[in-house]
Chain A
Amino acid sequence: MDVRLDHVTVDAILHGVDLHAAAGEVHGIVGPNGSGKSTTLRCVYRALEPDGGVVRIGGRDISTTKIRDTAGDLAALTQDSHVEFDFTVAEVVAMGRLPHRSTPRQDEEIVADALSRVDAAHLADRSFLTLSGGERQRVLIARALAQQPKVLVLDEPTNHLDISHQLAVLTLVRGLGVTVLAVLHDLNLAAAYCDRLHVLDHGRVVCSGKPEEVLTPEVLHEVFHVRAHVVRHPTSGVPQLLFEHQEVVR
Chain B
Amino acid sequence: MTSPSSPPTTERTPPPTPRRPSTTGLCLILTAVLAASVVCGVALGPVSLPFADVLRFLHAALTGGTIDASEAGPYRIVWDIRLPRVLLAAVVGAGLSVVGVAIQAMVRNALADPYVLGISSGASVGATAVATTGLFASLGIYALSTAAFLAALAAMAVVYLVAGRNLTPLRLVLTGTAMAYGFSAIAMLLVFQSPRGEAARAAMFWLLGSLGGVTWASLPIAAAVVLAGVAYLQSRAKHLNALSMGDETAITLGIDVSRTRKALFLVTAAMTGVLVAVSGAVGFVGLMLPHLVRLTVGADHRKVLAVAPLAGACFLIWVDVAARLLAAPEELPLGVITAALGVPCFILLMRRRGYVFGGR
Contacts and interface: CB of A to CB of B under 8 A. Distances in A.
B241 A91 contact: yes
Interface residues of A, number: 38
Contact of B242 (A70, A86, A95, A153): A95
B136 interface: no
A76 interface: yes
Contacts of B358: 84
Interface in B238-263: 238, 241-242, 244-249, 251-256
Contact of A129 (B242, B249, B359): B359
Interface in B288-303: 294, 298-300
A83 B245 contact: yes
Contact of B249 (A68, A78, A88, A126): A78
Interface residues of B, number: 33
Contacts of A114: none
A112 to B, nearest CB: 16
Interface string A58-84: 000000001111111011101111111
B298 A78 contact: no
A99 interface: yes
B359 A46 contact: no
B299 A86 contact: yes
Nearest to A127: B356
Interface stretch (B49-57, B84-92, B104-112): B104-112
Contacts of A147: 253
Contacts of A42: 248
A130 interface: yes
Interface of B: 14-15, 17-18, 104-105, 108-110, 238, 241-242, 244-249, 251-256, 294, 298-300, 354-356, 358-359
Q: Which 6 A-B pairs have the closest CB atoms?
A: A71-B254, A99-B254, A85-B299, A68-B254, A80-B248, A76-B252
30 contacts: A67-B251, A68-B254, A68-B255, A71-B251, A71-B252, A71-B254, A71-B255, A76-B249, A80-B248, A80-B249, A82-B246, A83-B245, A84-B105, A84-B358, A84-B359, A86-B294, A86-B355, A88-B17, A88-B299, A91-B241, A95-B242, A95-B253, A96-B253, A98-B238, A127-B17, A127-B354, A127-B356, A129-B356, A129-B359, A153-B252
